[in-house]
Amino acid sequence: MSHRKSKPITLMLLLSSVVTLGCSSGEDEVSGFAGLAEQIEQDAGQGAGYLQPGPGDAIELPADLGPHPQHRIEWWYLTANLTTGAGEPLGLQWTQFRQALEPRSPQDNPPPAEQWPLQSVWMAHAAVSHDGEHYFHEKLARGDIGHAGAVAEPFQVWLDAWRLAEREDPDGDPQWRLQVNGPGWGYNLLLQPRRAPVFHGDQGFSAKSAGGEGSMYFSYVDMAIEGTVTLKGETLAVHGTGWLDREWSSQFLKSGQKGWDWLALHLDSGAKLMAFRLREEDGGPFKSGTWVPAEGEPISLSGDEVMIEPVATRSTSRGQVPTRWQVKVPGQDLDVVVSAVPGDYWNLGVFPYWESPVRVSGSHEGRGYLELTGYGADE
């Protein structure tokens, strides 16, 4: 009996923690964050068998495009700043999360699908932001039965009919197709990486606290994108630039961390910037970032080398949200203001979070995306 009863409970736990992945919600979910951290600490004490990334761990491609069943959490995360045929800006997001309920060695086979195993839960998010409106949809599935999953070669990530899959273009170069159908809207895009993947932090190990906990994290920072977006029965041709994150860990946020502020910017100079801060309950936030010059090697930024501070908030459907930020990287002569475009960009899934396109002005011009978790409140 205990086995039967424990499943739904685990499921809820899992769902609450999926969120914490990178998309937690308001103040009300602080306990969700802490809950996950506590459970992780508990599991660690019992030797739960999850692998924990650390300095010195390396990224291997293409293998690391695939899933990591011995890690607790991971995601594939695309944000794109696109332009329609009419020259209007259009923001787009696609994310797929995996949350493990039980760790499994990559060498072990999953239980047979007929047993409807529940070792992992998958969650997919898709959103389109256009003309001040924001469309969002969420899907959930259990792993290991084929309903949702990911493979490294040929690269494919899917849940239901949503999928990102590798294919070859006529020249033999790798290309990815992303297909998503939300209720009454959808998109069908071709993505082509224009730069080699950027490994964040120490060869891909990205610290998330002063104590040294962190995740493995790399990004395709410059994806050429073209395709169509369907909204309100109208199909729009779009093109632009995307940013695809791959990240996995077994402990992402510690108890005491309230949420995170993350941004990825495409500057008109051709340079790219990723910066985030994790807000601590006690003391200042933990900051980090990566500067990707137009030419040359990426530069990892420590907390002292990047400044990221909110300068104005916006009243939204779920309360005040910091939508205007000052970002400085003194070493690169960058001093910009990053502002969310007008609108309400809450992704109202099981666990709400903010995901909006942004404009960059100041020492540099450009576009990008802003993701905020741990703000707002339930109505």
Partner 1 sequence: MKGPGYGRLLPLAVVSHYRRHPLQVTALLLILILATGLLTGVWDLTRQARHSMEQGDEAIGSRYQIVRQDSQSVTVADFVRLRRGGLCVLPWLEVSRPPPEGRVIGVDPLSVNCLRSADDNDDSRVAPGLGQAPFMDIGAAAAIAQEGYDSQLRLLVRHAGLSVPEPYRVTAVPGGLSTGELADSFLLNLDALSVLVLLITVLLVRSVYNLGLVQRRASLALLQRYGVPGPVLSSLLIAELVLLAVIASVPGLWLGQLLARVFASGFGQVMGNLFDLRLYGGTSLVSSYLLTLFTLLAVLAWCAADALGLGRRITGWLKVGPTGPVLAVAILIPGLAGLVWGSKLWLVFIAVGLVLLGIGLLIPILLARLIDRSARRSREPLQHWSRRELALMLRQVALPAVALQFAVAAVIAVQALVTTFESTFTQWLEQRLQGDVYIEVPDKRDISQVAEFLDSSSDVAAWHTVARGTARIAGDSVDLLVLPADSSLLDAWQFLEAVPQPWQALAIGGVMVNEQLARRNGLALGDTLTVTVAGAPYSAAVVAVYADYGRPVGEVLVPRKALPADFEPRFRSLTVQLAAEPAKGLAELRSELEALWRTGDLQLRDNQQIRQLATGVFDQTFALTRAISVLTLALANASLLLMGWVFFSSRRWYYQLLQVWGLARGELGSRIRRLSTSLTLLVGLSALGPGVLLTWVLVSRINPLAFGWSLPMAVYPLFWLEILALCLLVGLAIAALFQLQNRRQAPAPLPTTLGQGVER
Give contact residues for partner 1 (rule: CB under 8 A). 3-4, 7-8, 11, 113-118, 121, 137-142, 145-147, 158, 160-161, 181-183
Please answer whether residues 304 and 292 qualify as being in contact, where contact means their C-beta atoms are separated by less than 8 angstroms.
Answer: no
Whole-number Å distance between alpha carbons of 51 and 255: 19
Residues in the chain: 379
Nearer to partner 1, 100 or 141 (CB): 141
Whole-number Å distance between alpha carbons of 296 and 98: 33
Please answer whether residues 206 and 286 qualify as being in contact, where contact means their C-beta atoms are separated by less than 8 angstroms.
Answer: no
342 cis-preceded (ω within 30 degrees of 0): no
Residue type, 253: L
| Integer-rounded Cα radius of gyration of the chain | 20
Nearer to partner 1, 140 or 267 (CB): 140
Whole-number Å distance between alpha carbons of 137 and 349: 7
Angle among Cα 107, 111, 115 to the nearest 5 degrees reads: 170
Report DSSP state, residue 200. P
Please answer whether residues 175 and 190 qualify as being in contact, where contact means their C-beta atoms are separated by less than 8 angstroms.
Answer: yes
In this structure, the number of other CB atoms found within 10 A of the CB of residue 285 comes to 17
Whole-number Å distance between alpha carbons of 362 and 352: 31
Nearer to partner 1, 34 or 141 (CB): 141
Q: How many alpha carbons lie under 13 Å from residue 187 in its C-beta half-sphere?
A: 32
Angle among Cα 205, 293, 275 to the nearest 5 degrees reads: 50
> DSSP E strands: which ranges in 5-161?
73-84, 89-100, 120-130, 133-142, 148-151, 156-159
Angle among Cα 306, 311, 314 to the nearest 5 degrees reads: 130
Whole-number Å distance between alpha carbons of 333 and 363: 8
Nearer to partner 1, 140 or 229 (CB): 140
Residue 302: name the closest of 203, 201, 219, 213 by CA. Answer: 201
